[in-house]
């Protein structure tokens, strides 16, 4: 399908010129910043990201009561139970809070639910299972990356004399639990700037408040350096695909520095087994590290991934990393099998010229990988996709959205057909009885048609402006590291460059190619083009590309990664 090329909104000559003049930055950098709505007075703080710019964690209502209770538990030698989740965000949240509390003398126990045995979230059943797994009765329970809709579980905990502190970032329902404290920015309209935080980001906020309170009241925290857990924050934040903007960008920027040092044996073992040979990038987390961590919860036991992150020696770390690698290979096989069956259903049962949405279902499809299949279908067909696995009389599903379509909102319009639903605007989980699948498909298609905008279905490539090769000079590349980290909602610089001639071309494995472009003035640039076979030598193209540093062989080289290309005009 041919893509539509569009300049990113907000980029105009006046804003670019003002940024260049007032901040003495290269034209291409100014285009990048204009595309992100940055004004001249914000440039310096954007380029020089400082942890001091993080907001005060005590902005959260109830967070003081939470940290007071945690310090009281430490002083009374009470068990503190952390109830996490089985994905990377939940696992890193658990590891982070456990590290901070343990560092300050807490008796911490961690519980991660089993995807199939326990289902998602903090429930009365997982509460019972977690409490029964410990010798002594716990008095304090902290949820991480879950709990905002766990009304019944909190009531049961209170009945057992357990104080519950909820840390979460998911959307709240009509009723929130009556916990001791709820640390979730999404229940406070005045905290809109923190609505983008991941679960591990919220856990960091609680940890920050805990250490700050401890120091101010002479209780502890004096030797706790929270920069040491920013690697967990970077891992979980990037893996959960939340926007790398605001405080997320600050946390990930500094977290990537810690990750690159590979201080933790578990991180080092994971990077080696994933065969990452270049300087670690956020995309490596998205495509290599997070899938291996998630594989434990998808196919096995998420505690294996938690044990990896908590490992204090390299021998144990390698052992856990190898288990995760095995889980991930099995996950890939199962994912491809389901993807092939789903595509067959789409080809035979759906009229893609009329359908605005995709719903597929299969008997016994592995519940742990249907979310990944939904992601692939949404990406390949550019339509919101729901993948359901039928198990007995029940169907469990996972969905992924496109554009700005809010899937939680869409599912709320279909709620009468569902036994459960929830998640993020772009990623949801749901359940229904088997007999409702057909009706749900009809209603989902109808509601998507109501809520979706044509812009959500356009296969569009945005670029930050039109440049010449000379604009991508050494001066521009010197800024590239300072513009990072790149990720969801904060893409790398992308430019349109017209009338480039291919003067060298080489094939690469798996249908890729690399070579050299030359423009009309004689300037040259290396390029790499993925999923493109050999292009004609001396052919001329208009391209959209992202400038990057290729350090695969340890030798840093400037190149253009081609995103799309068309004949001139």
pLDDT value at 460 more than 60: yes
Residue 393 neighbours by CB distance under 10 Å: 8
Quick one: pLDDT band at residue 143, thresholds 50, 70, 90? Answer: very high
pLDDT reported for residue 518: 97
Quick one: pLDDT band at residue 120, thresholds 50, 70, 90? Answer: confident
How does pLDDT run across 306-322, given as a tens digit for each residue? 999 999 999 999 999 99
Distance from C-alpha of 293 to C-alpha of 274, rounded to nearest angstrom: 11
Average pLDDT, the chain: 93
CATH number of the domain that residue 359 is part of: 3.10.310.30
For residues 443 and 488, state if they share a domain.
Answer: no
How does pLDDT run across 55-114, given as a tens digit for each residue? 999 999 999 999 999 999 999 999 999 999 999 999 999 999 999 999 999 999 999 999
> 158 and 178 in contact (C-beta within 8 Å)?
yes
How does pLDDT run across 303-359, given as a tens digit for each residue? 999 999 999 999 999 999 999 999 999 999 999 999 999 999 999 999 988 899 999
Distance from C-alpha of 90 to C-alpha of 376, rounded to nearest angstrom: 23
Structural domain of 387: 350-457
Give the three-class secondary structure for 267: helix
Please, what is the angle between helix 290-299 and helix 230-239, to 10°?
A: 70
Question: Could you say which of 209, 241, 273 is where a domain stops?
Answer: 241
pLDDT value at 556 more than 90: no
Question: Could you say which of 405, 440, 457 is where a domain stops?
Answer: 457
Count CA within 13 A, CB hemisphere, residue 300: 21
Considering the entire predicted model, what is its pTM? Answer: 0.91
For residues 42 and 64, state if they share a domain.
Answer: no
pLDDT value at 420 more than 70: yes
How does pLDDT run across 251-263, given as a tens digit for each residue? 999 999 999 999 9
In a domain, 518, yes or no: yes
Distance from C-alpha of 356 to C-alpha of 446, rounded to nearest angstrom: 9
CATH number of the domain that residue 507 is part of: 2.40.50.460
pLDDT reported for residue 1: 57
DSSP string, 82-107: EE--SSHHHHHHHHHHHHHHHHTT-E
Give the three-class secondary structure for 117: coil
pLDDT reported for residue 82: 97
For residues 526 and 384, state if they share a domain.
Answer: no
pLDDT reported for residue 11: 77
Contacts of 38 (CB under 8 A, 6+ apart): 19, 46
pLDDT reported for residue 569: 75
Question: Could you say which of 405, 428, 457 is where a domain stops?
Answer: 457
For residues 132 and 227, state if they share a domain.
Answer: yes
Compute the average pLDDT of residues 394-410.
Answer: 93
In a domain, 335, yes or no: no
Least confident of 116-120, 172-176, 489-493, 527-531: 116-120
pLDDT reported for residue 554: 67
For residues 74 and 207, state if they share a domain.
Answer: yes
Distance from C-alpha of 316 to C-alpha of 293, rounded to nearest angstrom: 16
């Amino acid at each position: 399908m041919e893509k539509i090329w569009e300049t990113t909104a907000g980029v105009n000559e006046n804003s670019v010129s003002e940024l260049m003049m007032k901040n003495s930055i290269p034209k291409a950098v100014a285009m990048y910043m204009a595309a992100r709505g940055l004004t001249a007075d914000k440039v310096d703080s954007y380029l020089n990201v400082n942890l001091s710019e993080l907001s005060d964690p005590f902005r959260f209502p109830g967070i003081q009561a939470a940290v007071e209770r945690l310090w009281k538990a430490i002083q009374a030698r009470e068990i503190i139970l952390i109830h996490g989740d089985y994905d990377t965000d939940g696992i890193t949240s658990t590891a982070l809070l456990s590290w901070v509390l343990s560092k300050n003398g807490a008796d911490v126990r961690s519980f991660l639910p089993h995807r199939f045995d326990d289902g998602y979230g903090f429930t009365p059943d997982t509460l019972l299972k977690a409490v029964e797994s410990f010798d002594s009765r716990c008095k304090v329970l902290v949820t991480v990356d879950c709990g905002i809709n766990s009304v019944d579980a909190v009531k049961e905990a209170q009945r057992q004399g357990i104080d519950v502190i909820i840390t979460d970032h998911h959307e709240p329902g009509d009723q929130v639990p009556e916990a001791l404290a709820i640390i979730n920015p999404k229940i406070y309209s005045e905290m809109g700037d923190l609505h983008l935080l991941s679960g591990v980001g919220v856990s960091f906020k609680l940890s920050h408040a805990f250490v700050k309170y401890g120091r101010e009241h002479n209780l502890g925290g004096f030797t706790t350096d929270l920069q040491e857990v920013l690697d967990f924050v970077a891992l979980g934040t990037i893996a959960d695909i939340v926007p790398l903007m605001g405080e997320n960008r600050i946390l990930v920027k500094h977290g990537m520095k810690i990750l690159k040092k590979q201080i933790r044996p578990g991180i080092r073992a994971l990077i080696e087994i994933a065969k990452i040979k270049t300087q670690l990038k956020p995309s490596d987390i998205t495509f290599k590290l997070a899938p291996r961590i998630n594989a434990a919860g998808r196919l096995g036991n998420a505690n294996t991934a938690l044990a990896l992150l908590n490992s204090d020696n390299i021998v144990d770390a390698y052992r856990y990393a190898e288990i995760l690698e095995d889980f991930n290979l099995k996950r890939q096989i199962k994912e491809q099998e389901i993807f092939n069956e789903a595509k067959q259903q789409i080809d035979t049962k759906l009229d893609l010229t009329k359908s605005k949405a995709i719903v597929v279902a299969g008997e016994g499809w592995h519940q742990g990988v249907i979310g990944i299949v939904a992601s692939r279908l949404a990406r390949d067909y550019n339509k919101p996709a729901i993948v359901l696995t039928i198990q007995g009389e029940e169907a469990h599903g996972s969905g992924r959205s496109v554009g700005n379509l809010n899937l939680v909102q869409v599912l709320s319009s279909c709620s009468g057909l569902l036994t459960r639903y929830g998640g993020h605007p772009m990623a949801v989980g749901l359940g229904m009885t088997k007999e409702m699948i057909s009706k749900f498909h009809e209603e989902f298609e109808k509601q998507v048609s109501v809520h979706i905008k044509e812009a959500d279905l356009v296969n569009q490539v945005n670029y930050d402006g039109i440049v010449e090769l000379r604009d991508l000079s050494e001066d521009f590349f010197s800024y590239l590291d300072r513009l990072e980290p790149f990720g969801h909602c904060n893409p790398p610089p992308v430019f349109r460059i017209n009338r480039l001639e291919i003067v060298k071309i080489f094939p690469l494995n798996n249908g890729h190619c690399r070579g050299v472009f030359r423009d009309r003035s004689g300037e040259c640039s290396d390029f790499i083009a993925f999923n493109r076979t050999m292009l004609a030598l001396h052919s001329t193209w208009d391209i959209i590309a992202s400038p990057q540093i290729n350090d695969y062989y340890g030798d840093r080289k400037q190149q253009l990664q081609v995103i799309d290309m068309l004949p001139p005009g």
